[in-house]
Chains A and B, each alone.
With several copies, the nearest count.
Chain A
Amino acid sequence: MEGKMIDENGLRVDGRKVDELRQIKIEAGVLKRADGSAYVEWGKNKVLAAVYGPRECHPRHLQDPSKALVQCKYNMIAFSVSDRKRPGPDRRSVEISKIISEALEYVVFTEYFPRTSVDVYIEILQANAGTRCAGLTAASVALADAGIPMKDMIPSVAVGKIDGQIVLDLCKEEDNYGQADMPIAIIPRTGEILLMQMDGHMTTDEFNRAMEYGFGACEKIYQLQKDALKRRYAVEDVEGLEEDVPREQQELEG
């Protein structure tokens, strides 16, 4: 497939430039039962994230007397991929859940809620490359929507390599023939890297270019995250009274 993924005008199979993101749509507060939630459409990815907590930590022997645990479960639903995936965690999703949990733990003020658990659920409804980045991006918004005190939100994106070129945000078709894939997550304000994985083949120069693209994209995604929260609050202001009714009912349930 060498040489076929980027055309003579430098455009990719879906018409994007090498440093261009797919279309991203973020919506906060999309679920009723969850304490916080977000929905992300990212190209053809469809991702739902929900947050419960801080709440009692189960099993109890995992409780940390000095802080809350941030426990993320990343899951692909059975029909999110072309071959049906058997329900239940596989090794890939266990690893992704671990590294997303670690990234989120850094931004949550866990010391405020000792012995509790902040549970984050990411469900990939439709997968098209880059689901862990879309999931982490959604999870950050869901945490904020849940009112969990946190340092900042974490945007995330993958940078890849196709046809010997560093390229931002591979879609599935590109990923299938890609030469490298590097998902990252950062705090744009400080430049801190919270998630970074790579597989494939990159020189040091290519790595530097990739980080440039990635950092730039994360700035944009961060803006989308903030916009989603703003829209959510704006809606709340308008529909405040109506929205309050179910909230009160929830309190009654104890």
Chain B
Amino acid sequence: MARAIMSDIKRDHIHKLLSKGKRVDGRTWDEFRQVSIERRFVESAEGSARVMLGDTDVLVGVKIETGTPFSDTPDRGVLSTNAELIPLASPNFESGPPDEDSIELARVVDRGIRESEMIDLTALCIAPGEEVWLCFVDMYVLDYDGNLFDAAFLGAVAALKSAMVPAAMNGKGEDFPLPIRNTPISCTAVQIENSILFDPTLDEEKVAAARLTVTTDENGDIRAMQKGLEGSLTLEQAKRIIETSQRLGRDLRKLIG
């Protein structure tokens, strides 16, 4: 996706405020927007959550089916993560197969979940090498006002934590919750003229030079990172983002419960 264009006036406005240490919406540099999470929004999904991060609105659903495992992990369930930047959510999103932006989003969320070992995939094996539970996480952006990474990640984690494995319907005993071992949280910051801003709005993203997403686990350890955009970060900036993510992650984790 070509990055959306922004008027010079607006750009100058953001820069001018930043030079005074301020953000357009009055937040501090390390402050997230209002977060709301509505679990089980969609009944047809085994788990779901709708997350609002300010005006960014993401709906995540989890579908769980039986299927065959990958041949190199015969005793583990399968996690599959997909993101859809549907054109309903932004004038800059287009119809069609996932583009590089939705692929990056899906893969960054996927790595955060997978590398934190959030789900005990071994508990999703039914018959080794033959039948396992397949777990599809589909993330739909409904309204786009910046920081999709964190909104989608919160939605995915909340949806997974709300999900029941439909064992009864499949003749596999009683339904049970997805086996969750960890609650990872991702925090994303951007660098704009050497200022660091967490949870950027769309306008802030448009003027940002570099982006860093840091996913941490309950111990505060790093489980995944992704630097993005065409600009650079210094090592000090990276370290500051990591430390702040560890701190902010603790607060966000409480919201997920």
Q: Do the two chains touch directly in the complex (Cβ atoms below 8 Å apart)?
A: yes
Interface residues of A, Cβ cutoff 8 Å to B = 31-34, 44, 46, 48-50, 52, 55, 62, 64, 73, 75, 77-84, 87-88, 91-92, 94-95, 97-99, 102-103, 105-106, 119, 121, 123, 125-127, 182, 187, 190-204, 207-208, 211, 215, 249, 252-254
A78 to B: closest C-beta gap in Å: 4
CB closest residue in chain B, given A98? B100
What would 10 A/B residue contacts be, using CB atoms closer than 8 Å?
Answer: A31-B89, A87-B138, A105-B230, A191-B234, A192-B232, A192-B234, A201-B222, A207-B222, A253-B5, A254-B6
Q: A77-B61, A192-B234 are contacts. A182–B225 as well, Cβ < 8 Å?
A: yes
CB closest residue in chain B, given A182? B225
| Total cross-chain contacts (CB, 8 A) | 185
When distances are taken between beta carbons in the complex, the residues of chain A under 8 Å from B142 are 31, 48, 123
* Contact, CB under 8 Å: B231 / A78: no
User: Quick check: is B97 within 8 A (CB to CB) of the other chain?
Assistant: yes
Contact partner of B10 among A73, A91, A191, A249, CB < 8 A? A249
Closest 7 pairs between A and B when the two form their complex, measured CB to CB: A79-B61, A192-B232, A79-B45, A121-B88, A198-B225, A84-B63, A196-B227
Scoring B residues 208 to 251 as 1 if CB is less than 8 Å from chain A, else 0, what string do you get?
00001000010011111111111111110011001100100000
Contact partner of A203 among B10, B87, B222, CB < 8 A? B222
Complex Cα distance A32/B65, Å? 35
* Contact, CB under 8 Å: A50 / B107: no
CB closest residue in chain A, given B139? A78
When distances are taken between beta carbons in the complex, the residues of chain A under 8 Å from B5 are 253-254
Q: A95-B107, A199-B223 are contacts. A50–B88 as well, Cβ < 8 Å?
A: yes
Q: For chain B, give the interface size range.
A: 35 or more
Of A105, A198, A208, most B-chain CB atoms within 10 Å = A198
Interface residues of B, Cβ cutoff 8 Å to A = 2, 4-7, 9-10, 41-45, 48, 55, 57, 59, 61-63, 65, 82, 84, 86-91, 95, 97-98, 100, 103-104, 106-107, 111, 114-115, 136, 138, 140, 142-145, 203, 212, 217, 220-235, 238-239, 242-243, 246
A152 to B: closest C-beta gap in Å: 11
Complex Cα distance A84/B111, Å? 22
Complex Cα distance A92/B106, Å? 11
CB closest residue in chain A, given B104? A95
Complex Cα distance A197/B90, Å? 27
B5 to A: closest C-beta gap in Å: 7
* Contact, CB under 8 Å: A201 / B223: yes
Say what secondary structure dominates the interface of chain B: mixed
When distances are taken between beta carbons in the complex, the residues of chain A under 8 Å from B84 are 77-78, 87
B160 to A: closest C-beta gap in Å: 13
* Contact, CB under 8 Å: A193 / B59: no
B182 to A: closest C-beta gap in Å: 11
CB closest residue in chain A, given B46? A79
* Contact, CB under 8 Å: A253 / B6: yes
When distances are taken between beta carbons in the complex, the residues of chain B under 8 Å from A194 are 227, 232
Complex Cα distance A192/B209, Å? 12
* Contact, CB under 8 Å: A102 / B228: yes
A190 to B: closest C-beta gap in Å: 8
Contact partner of A125 among B42, B87, B91, B246, CB < 8 A? B42
Complex Cα distance A174/B224, Å? 19
* Contact, CB under 8 Å: B103 / A95: yes
Complex Cα distance A88/B5, Å? 28
* Contact, CB under 8 Å: A75 / B234: no
Given contacts A193-B232, A199-B225, 19 further A-B contacts (CB under 8 A): A32-B145, A48-B88, A52-B87, A77-B61, A78-B82, A92-B107, A94-B104, A95-B107, A99-B226, A121-B88, A190-B232, A192-B233, A193-B234, A198-B222, A198-B225, A199-B224, A200-B224, A201-B223, A249-B203
Q: A33-B145, A48-B88, A249-B10 are contacts. A197–B100 as well, Cβ < 8 Å?
A: no
Q: A84-B65, A97-B100, A121-B88 are contacts. A201–B225 as well, Cβ < 8 Å?
A: no
B2 to A: closest C-beta gap in Å: 6
* Contact, CB under 8 Å: A77 / B59: yes
* Contact, CB under 8 Å: A82 / B97: no
Complex Cα distance A249/B9, Å? 10
B67 to A: closest C-beta gap in Å: 11
* Contact, CB under 8 Å: A196 / B225: yes
Q: A52-B87, A193-B233, A253-B6 are contacts. A199–B111 as well, Cβ < 8 Å?
A: yes
Q: A197-B226, A252-B7 are contacts. A91–B234 as well, Cβ < 8 Å?
A: no
CB closest residue in chain B, given A122? B88
* Contact, CB under 8 Å: A32 / B106: no
